[in-house]
Homo-oligomer: A and B are copies of this chain.
């Protein structure tokens, strides 16, 4: 498995969840097959790229018929490791941490929030949206007991690197960083960054170039 994973380009991996979402929509619409053209349109890429990406999963489709939606969905879920739950811990129980603990999309898609962690003694012991806040000293024990796979950083930028180090020390090597800070992790860890302003910059491009600007 690791060998195959290494052969799938990063850019392809990043597109798999987008295909997955499109396939789930098709299944909702009771579509049993899908062409690479249709899937490409839904995912916002070109059809040749879809075919290439899916070939990494060993999926080639049938000429004139396309891909079997349900089977491709299963195959992709398995490849993405979504056939079982991955408990997550949220570092930081401020507004963002609380919002993420309450975000319906996580549990629904197999990422139950196992715990919130905060440095503030006033917050430790509280519950937000049914998720208990723990002190950072409890992180190694929680990580082991609850099988926590992924750590989400929802602290201020200034605390982000220290919090990443705490996650790594607790054996959590997949990190999603929401803090507007650059952090570094060793090569054996996986780090993704959510940049909330990036999407605004894309919108501002279209606003700037709108044929009939509102302003």
Contacts and interface: CB of A to CB of B under 8 A. Distances in A.
In the complex, the count of this chain's copies comes to 2
A6 B205 CA distance: 11
B205 A81 contact: yes
A10 interface: yes
A86 B190 contact: no
Nearest to A107: B197
Contacts of A62: none
A203 B194 contact: no
Contacts of A96: 95-96, 99, 102-103
A142 to B, nearest CB: 14
A16 interface: yes
Given A1-B209, A80-B204, A150-B207, A105 B197 contact: yes
A14 interface: yes
Contacts of A14: 202
A197 B176 CA distance: 10
Interface stretch (A119-127, A130-138, A166-174): A166-174
Interface string A191-208: 010111111111111111
Interface of A: 1-2, 4-6, 10-11, 13-14, 16-18, 20-21, 25, 44-45, 79-82, 86, 88, 94-96, 98-100, 102-106, 108-111, 147, 149-150, 157, 171-176, 180, 182, 188, 190, 192, 194-212, 214-215
Given A82-B201, A109-B200, 5 more contacts: A80-B201, A80-B205, A147-B215, A149-B215, A192-B202
Interface centre among A6, A98, A204, A214 (most CB of B within 10 A): A204
Contacts of A180: 103-105, 108
A204 B209 CA distance: 37
